[in-house]
Structures are given as C-alpha cells and as structure tokens.
Structure 1
Amino acid sequence: MSTSVNILATITPKPDQVENTRQQLQTVAAASRQEPGCLRYDVFQGNRDGETTFHIVERYQDRAAVEVHGASQHFQALRERAADLLAKPWEIIFVQDVDVAL
C-alpha cells in the first residue's frame, strides 16, 4: 500500500482577484515543487456556476512532506492573503490512490 498523500484543493477567488490569485498560486506551485517529498503540484483553472475556480492537485511522499509544505513560508504567505483573495473558504480533500498513472 502506498504511503503517499494526495490532496485536491479548490479555490474560488473574488472576481477582481482572479489574476492576482493565479499569480500567487503559480508562485506557490514553483516553490512547492522544490520541497523535499513533493511529488506533484499542479494548478488548473476552471469555471463553476459562472465563477472562476482554481484546482490544485498535490501529491506528497508522506505525511511528513505535507507538514513541511504546510509550514513553508510560501504556503503561509498565501494563507495570510487568502481573506483578501478568496470569495469562499478553500475546499480541501485528501484522496487515496485507486488507479493512478505515475
């Protein structure tokens, strides 16, 4: 059984903060990919009921790597800016591998 940890996050920015949120997420993605134990950090943009959404697919080697990410300066900076950027709270779910191409 895999010990890796997968996270799916959905972020809904305020309408006037879409571009700023995109830039912030790209900065976090680039830094996160350099973290030890980060196996994947991809950002996608979509639309849900007329609202722009960003979806992040994360994969970490183990829980310890998730904790490193959560404590990182770049992630903490994003969390501090969330109230200014986001229209809704983040939606974060942890998922298990079922059929994953690696």
Structure 2
Amino acid sequence: MLGVVAQITVKQGAEAQFEELANQMVQASRQEEGCLEYGLWRTEVAGQYAFVERYKDEAAVEAHRKSDHFRQIGRAMGAFMEGAPTVLRLTAV
C-alpha cells in the first residue's frame, strides 16, 4: 500500500474557490480503481491544506496522476495556490 500527503498553501482570500475545486478532485479521485482513501484536510495553519491519499499500488498512483480530472482540476487549483505543493510519498510497513 502506498500513501501520499500533498501539503498546499492557498493564497489569502482564495480558500473558498480552492476548496470548491479541491472537493471536485476528492469526489472524482475516490472513484478511481485502486484508490483506497482520498481526502482534503485543513491544517491548523490558516490557508494551509493537505490531501491525504492511499492507494493499492504504484499502478493506482500513476493512474491517478495521469487521469483527466487530476490534470484539469489540478491546473485550475494552481491559480489559488501559493507556490508548489510539498509532496510526501509513503510506503506502508
């Protein structure tokens, strides 16, 4: 099992627009074969979010990254982000 935590900082005042798009990403990603968990979380820092994801295997991760919704919604979310996300890839032990 593989995990991904993508930490994102959103521009001040753009939180609502970001959340709307991010929740579209969550709903679409949860439908992917091999996706075990996909959620959006707010951190304790204002304007900071984290996507928490779990996948069956590497093929499922790659399928997610190549999906139309990841590319289209991800590009749209970029307009509301402050810099690039920090991505932590995890392997279950």
* TM-score scaled by length of structure 2: 0.90
Pick aligned residue for 2:4 from 2, 7, 17? 7
1:81 CA displacement: 2.0
Aligned CA-pair RMSD: 1.3
Which residue of 2 is the match for residue 21 of structure 1?
A: 18
Which residue of 1 is the match for residue 73 of structure 2?
A: 78
Paired residues in the alignment total 93
1:16 CA displacement: 2.3
1:96 CA displacement: 2.4
* TM-score scaled by length of structure 1: 0.83
Q: Tell me, which stretches of 5 or more residues in structure 1 are unaligned? A: none
Q: Tell me, which stretches of 5 or more residues in structure 2 are unaligned? A: none
Secondary structure in structure 1 of the residue aligned to 2:83: coil
- Aligned-partner Cα distance in 2 for 1:78–1:22: 11
Work out the percentage of aligned pairs sharing the same amino acid. Answer: 29
Runs ≥4 residues deviating over 4 A: none
Q: Which has the larger radius of gyration?
A: 1
